[in-house]
Amino acid sequence: MNYFSSLNPLAFTNALPGNIAQGLIWGIMALGVYITFRLLDFADLTVDGSFATGGAVTVMMTVKGYNIWVALLCACIAGLLAGLCTGLLHTKLGIPPILAGILTQIALYSINLNIMDRHANQALSVDKYSLILSSRNLTSAIVIGLLFAAVLIIVLYWYFGTEQGSAIRATGCNPAMSRAQGINIDNMKLIGLSISNAIVALSGGLLAQYSGFADVNMGRGGIVIGLAAVIIGEVLGDAILGKRMDFKGRLIFVVIGGIIYYIVIGIVLWLKMPSDDLKLFTAIIVAIFLAVPYLKGKSKSSFAKAGKRAAAMLAGRSATAYGDVDAKNKEEK
């Protein structure tokens, strides 16, 4: 009883806008993860490194006097180059996707340290620099996060409806058939990975502004958060829209998944769970949402249910047959 009485609903309500703002930023990152994870069917672990790269480039260029929009653009270019590096390791050197991503991620750790002048973290004060968003004004941060997410969704929806975008989707869906149709699948992978990590780096730059610093480890575990947002969004979207869930809906629900994920994390912290176990809770949340579609599909197509349906049909036919025989006997009598 003492535990439940110590929980203050007002504290959770006050923390909710911050959770939503961070969820939007990570939801933008999840859009990049969605491109590789779902569209390209490429297990890209570059994300943990390129996210920190985006934050490091944004902070250091802003500190050195560059306009914040120019800094964000350069962060996107840096992320694009990171994704391109992973793609080249995979397509030109034949390194498996997971290992290619790990190699780039490891290299980015040292690169990010060099970007930040050999410091593990660099501060970015909202009092000294003109930033796009900050945790000091949560309402503005939420609105700006929504605008960034909306623009990205519109651009991605348009782009992946073009000939090149459709070729990228076809490459992830069926590489052999795409190659047979004359699509250069290596180039499509390079483009997809570059776009994905550019979006991830943009998200890192936004989070660095929101938090007021860039850290070399700020992207650690980012791929798990991105996957959580993608899976949560897909499960929720399928539950709400069902067969009406189209590509545009999936992009929207990926961002919503990021918001829900951070709200769940906020609930976990509000319940006074140990903060050291936050990664454990994250893994459990992702595992649950990954298991939901599988268990749901299994329940619909299980052999046990099929057997029960068959038995019910046979029983119905038998009852009908016996009824016909009884009726015939009565007529004869």
| pLDDT tens per residue, range 103-131 | 999 999 999 999 999 899 999 988 888 89
Q: How many CB atoms lie within 10 A of CB 51?
A: 35
Of the candidates 205, 165, 168, the residue with the CA atom closest to the CA atom of residue 74 = 205
Whether 324 and 259 map to the same domain: the answer is no
Whether 137 and 29 map to the same domain: the answer is yes
**Interval 267-277: pLDDT, tens:** 888 887 777 77
Whether 232 and 330 map to the same domain: the answer is no
Report the CATH number at residue 9: 1.10.3470
Whether 187 and 176 map to the same domain: the answer is yes
Whether 312 and 221 map to the same domain: the answer is no
**Interval 29-80: pLDDT, tens:** 999 999 999 999 998 999 999 999 999 999 999 999 999 999 999 999 999 9
Q: What angle do CA 9, 10, 13 make, to 5 degrees?
A: 90
Of the candidates 249, 215, 269, the residue with the CA atom closest to the CA atom of residue 11 = 269
**Interval 240-256: pLDDT, tens:** 888 888 999 999 999 99
Whether 333 and 219 map to the same domain: the answer is no
Residues in the chain: 333
The answer to whether 214 and 52 have CB atoms below 8 angstroms apart is yes
**Interval 134-165: pLDDT, tens:** 988 999 999 999 999 999 999 999 999 999 99
Following DSSP, what letter does each residue of 181-197 receive, concatenated? TT--HHHHHHHHHHHHH
Whether 254 and 308 map to the same domain: the answer is no
Whether 290 and 323 map to the same domain: the answer is no
Q: What is the pLDDT of residue 325?
A: 46
Longest dimension (CA), the chain: 106
The whole domain housing 29 covers 2-301
Q: Copy the structure tokens of residue 290.
A: 């990954």
Whether 297 and 314 map to the same domain: the answer is no
Whether 294 and 306 map to the same domain: the answer is no
Whether 54 and 14 map to the same domain: the answer is yes
Whether 254 and 316 map to the same domain: the answer is no
Global pTM exceeds 0.85: yes
Number of structural domains in the chain? 2
